[in-house]
Amino acid sequence: MPVNILAQAFAEGLSSIPFGWTVVKVVPVLALLYLLKWYFNGAVNGSERNMHSKVIMVTGGTAGIGAEVVKALASRGAQIILLVQQPLTDPFFVDYIEDLRTECGNELITAEHVDLTSLHSIRLFATKWVDNAPPRRLDMIVLCANTMTPPGGKATITEDGLESTWGLNYIANFHLLSILSPALRAQPPDRDVRIIFGTCSAYMGGRLPKFDTKSKKGGKVESDQTEPAPTSVYATSKLALMTFAVAFQKHLSTYARPDKKPMNARVIMVDPGWTRTPGMRRFLTFGSLWGLALYLFMWPFWWLVLKSGDQGAQTFLYAVMEAQWGRGDGNYLLKECRRINWARKEIEDETLQQKLWESSSKTIELLEKESAKRRALEKKDKEKAEAKSPAKEAKGGAKQRKAT
């Protein structure tokens, strides 16, 4: 049939074929759109690995790229531990976990309540995990949690007084891994342990501020750094996270194991590319209704140039499954399922790494002290209120009996 049509087109011209000229005009456009979509989708993970019995801790695993990573790993038999902010008794979250178990055919999907915007919540979980004998199995930590204040939006503050983007993207990861490092170092030498950081090409625009902190009168923590714009905070948080990732690999590698075996934990940084995640949508819409309307109007364009969540997860899966990243000295930066070099030399600066580590530890120490004082005062006030309540009830009962 196609041969006859082509023969007629050559013999009698395209005009003799119904819609001949229309097809000739439309097909190149469709072919171009297909090639553009194929290009913007990025690379696809071609590595496979048996994930049965692997214990993987995931942050940000309920939405966007993190959710797709969790589905892919759970479908391959991995035991997933989600660190989530919402209460574990939330009926909607319970339904989500049950649906995820059914979809993946895996009952080994559990969750732990960890509010990454609260240093106290992170410490409660991490210390409980570490204070376990014998050490609990932990093959991987995948850090997908991420936030960003949209352009023109007002920066929000965590309960510890940190700017939310800086607090979640960097400080939370620093605090979590600092406490969990003994659990990582205690894993058997034949186990392939990987710590996977989610980053972004925005780190190239970041500029690390001065991190020296001190406590002033009144117990408040102050810093000599100026308050940057929300968008620059995001870029700086990613730059700081990558600098910490390199320092954390050195921290792990310099540990002398009691069995004299080489360290088997490796740090991998992943740039998934531009993806249609809820965070990206919030950024593109400026966090406003008119921005959302514009986003919906331009949806075909965003569909073309932005990856889906599944496509954005491909480099994460490549970092988890590719065998070569389980060897060597670690500190790998992956993008589009291949290794690349980072563009900022500050990431390799050992002096800067040390200053960043020390100032971050000091900041967390000061903030946790303030948080402990605040919780103690709140507990004391609550106890006073509870003590007054029975006294009032007893007094009211006595008055009523007297009146009777």
H or E element: which one contains 242?
Answer: helix 230-253
User: What separation in angstroms does the CA of 103 have from each of 22, 43, 69, 109, 333?
Assistant: 44, 25, 14, 11, 31
Crossing angle, helix 230-253 and helix 350-403, to 10 degrees? 110
Q: Which of 73, 66, 81, 72 is nearest to 51 (CA)?
A: 73
Least Cα distance to 177 among 74, 248, 77, 231 occurs for 248
C-alpha to C-alpha distance for 106 and 101, rounded to whole angstroms: 5
CA-to-CA dists, residue 18 to 8, 10, 27, 56, angstroms: 11, 14, 15, 58
Q: Which token pair is 106?
A: 């895996």
Beta carbons of 361 and 275 less than 8 angstroms apart:
no
CB 77 within 8 A of CB 51: yes
Give, in order, the Cα–Cα distances in Å from 74 to each of 45, 50, 62, 319: 16, 11, 13, 16
Cα three-residue angle 268-160-88, rounded to 5 degrees: 70
Whether residue 238 lies in the annotated active site: yes
C-alpha to C-alpha distances, 4 to 9, 20, 169, 225, 321, nearest whole angstrom: 9, 14, 62, 75, 50
Work out the angle between the directed axes of helices 172-185 and 119-130 (0-180°, nearest 10).
0
Tokens 């992170």: give the residue: 122
Tokens linked to 177: 């891994």
If one counts every other C-beta atom within 10 angstroms of the C-beta of residue 274, the result is 16
CB 175 within 8 A of CB 116: no
Catalytic residue among 54, 128, 210, 238: 238
Q: Are strands 332-335 and 338-340 parallel, antiparallel or unpaired?
A: antiparallel
Tell me which residues are annotated as active site. Answer: 238
